[in-house]
């Protein structure tokens, strides 16, 4: 796809990931895909019921995409972090995998889960989290080294099944917080802190990293990380050398909306260096954001070259993961005999690990 041949509105649509209503394709979503050129959709537990229904929904979504296929994302993070629980293999949450502490199992269960996601037409998992914490279900643990090893294993398992692992919450929201000033000025010490999992995720070819909405202290200011050029451009892009897709979490987070409208937050996130904006499921709000970005470009607040950079990253990843291919539904792809055995084995290992604690 030649980005230079795209209209500005087509480019802006590629920068947005929207939530949708219902378990079937709705007219409002058709409108957003066809007339506003939206490039990405995320599905929650309100949209998914069982594999065949999800497959039907994803294939209908893709049929309304333009020349560039959709990122279709969900969160299937194990335990209570699953969007879909019926008819699929279910793995433990990150905390439990950390207690089991076997990287092979972490890679295997993520490969199985990802195979089933791809068989339903879902090509992105909003997982794993890279947080370092003692007691959080979305953290592999409090030790930076083995947390990092499990994070890399999870990414490898997802990519093995051609599903994009979107590493969550840069620069970390767990017990161990990133020292932004030190991270920008010192190479040695910060590699052993909260940034360590992200550094290794980048080395493992992580294609996408989400930025936390948490307030992150810097010597000069306190601002949601997702709106900080220092964190996104100076730290992640320049210091860590990351050139993949940078995405927001939901821009409706109260930490953001207490200070800004969603439209203003979207513009500020793009100014800070974000590529992909995650919006809610209300189509009037989605349209308002798209129009605000369009006006910001026309007014010179954001350059079209800046938009092009993000679109280029997004299109490259879509091509690399071959998202154009439509998928025939095959119920035999779900809960295979060996994947059920793995699920049972991990339950037993989790019980044994819990008894050791």
How much is the pTM?
Answer: 0.94
Please give the average per-residue pLDDT across 267-288, as a whole number: 97
User: What pLDDT digit, counting tens, does each position of 289-300 carry?
Assistant: 999 999 999 999
Tell me the pLDDT of the chain averaged across its residues.
Answer: 92
Domain count, the chain: 1
Question: What is the pLDDT, as a whole number, of residue 184?
Answer: 61
List the domain range (segments joined by +) for residue 32: 3-356
Give the mean pLDDT of 53-69: 95
More confident residue, 131 or 287: 287
Q: How far is CA 345 from the centre of its chain?
A: 28
Q: Give how far the C-alpha of residue 33 lies from the chain's centroid of Cα atoms, to the nearest Å.
A: 20
How confident is the model over 194-202, as a mean pLDDT?
92
Local structure of 325: helix, strand or coil: coil
* The predicted structure's pLDDT at residue 133: 87
What's the pLDDT band for 323 if we cut at 50, 70, 90? confident
52-56, 138-142, 226-230: which is most confident:
52-56
Q: pLDDT for 129-187, tens place per residue?
A: 999 988 899 999 988 888 999 999 999 999 999 999 999 999 887 655 565 555 566 65
Q: What is the pLDDT of residue 177?
A: 57
Minimal CA–CA distance to 38: which of 46, 47, 29?
29
**Strands (E) located in the chain:** 16-19, 40-42, 71-74, 124-125, 164-170, 208-211, 215-217, 222-224, 245-250, 276-278
Q: Is the pLDDT of residue 190 over 60?
A: no
Average pLDDT over residues 58-66: 94
- Residue 10 token pair: 């087509």
| Residue 80, SS3 per DSSP | helix
- Which CATH number goes with the domain that contains 45? 3.20.20.300
Q: Average pLDDT of 268-289?
A: 97
From the centroid of its chain, how far is CA 325?
21
**Alpha carbon separation from 36 to 4, 279, 308 (Å, rounded):** 18, 14, 17
> In this model, does residue 101 exceed pLDDT 90?
yes
% of residues, the chain, pLDDT over 70: 92
End-to-end CA distance of the chain: 53
List CB contacts of 134: < 8 A, sequence separation 6 or more.
141, 142, 175
pLDDT for res 56: 97
**Helix, strand or coil for residue 274?**
coil
Q: Which residue has the tokens 């194990």?
A: 78
Mean pLDDT, residues 61-76:
95
């Amino acid at each position: 796809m030649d980005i230079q041949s795209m209209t500005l509105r087509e480019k802006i649509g590629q920068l947005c990931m929207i939530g949708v209503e219902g378990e079937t394709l709705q007219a409002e979503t058709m409108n957003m895909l066809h007339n506003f050129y939206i490039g990405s959709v995320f599905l929650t537990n309100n949209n998914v019921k069982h594999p065949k229904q999800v497959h039907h929904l994803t294939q209908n979504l893709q049929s309304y995409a333009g020349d560039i296929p959709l990122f279709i994302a969900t969160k299937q993070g194990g335990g209570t972090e699953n969007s879909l629980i019926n008819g699929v293999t279910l793995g433990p949450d990150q905390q439990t995998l950390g207690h089991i502490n076997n990287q092979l199992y972490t890679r295997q269960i993520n490969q199985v889960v990802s195979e089933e996601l791809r068989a339903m037409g879902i090509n992105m998992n909003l997982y794993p989290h890279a947080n370092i914490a003692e007691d959080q279900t979305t953290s592999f643990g409090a030790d930076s080294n083995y947390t990092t090893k499990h994070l890399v294993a999870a990414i490898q398992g997802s990519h093995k099944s051609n599903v994009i692992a979107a590493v969550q919450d840069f620069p970390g929201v767990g017990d161990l917080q990133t020292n932004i000033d030190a991270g920008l000025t010192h190479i040695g010490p910060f590699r052993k802190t909260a940034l360590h999992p992200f550094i290794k995720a980048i080395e493992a070819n992580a294609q996408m990293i989400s930025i936390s909405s948490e307030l992150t202290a810097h010597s000069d200011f306190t601002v949601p990380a997702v709106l900080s050029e220092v964190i996104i451009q100076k730290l992640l892009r320049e210091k860590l050398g990351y050139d993949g897709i940078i995405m927001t979490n939901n821009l409706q987070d109260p930490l953001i909306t207490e200070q800004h409208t969603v439209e203003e937050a979207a513009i500020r996130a793009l100014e800070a260096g974000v590529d992909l904006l995650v919006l809610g499921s209300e189509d009037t709000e989605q349209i308002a954001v798209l129009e605000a970005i369009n006006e910001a470009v026309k007014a010179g607040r954001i350059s079209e070259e800046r938009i092009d950079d993000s679109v280029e990253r997004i299109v490259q990843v879509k091509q690399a993961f071959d998202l154009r291919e439509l998928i025939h539904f095959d119920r035999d792809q779900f809960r295979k005999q060996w994947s059920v055995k793995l699920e049972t084995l991990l339950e037993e290992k989790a019980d044994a690990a819990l008894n050791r604690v």
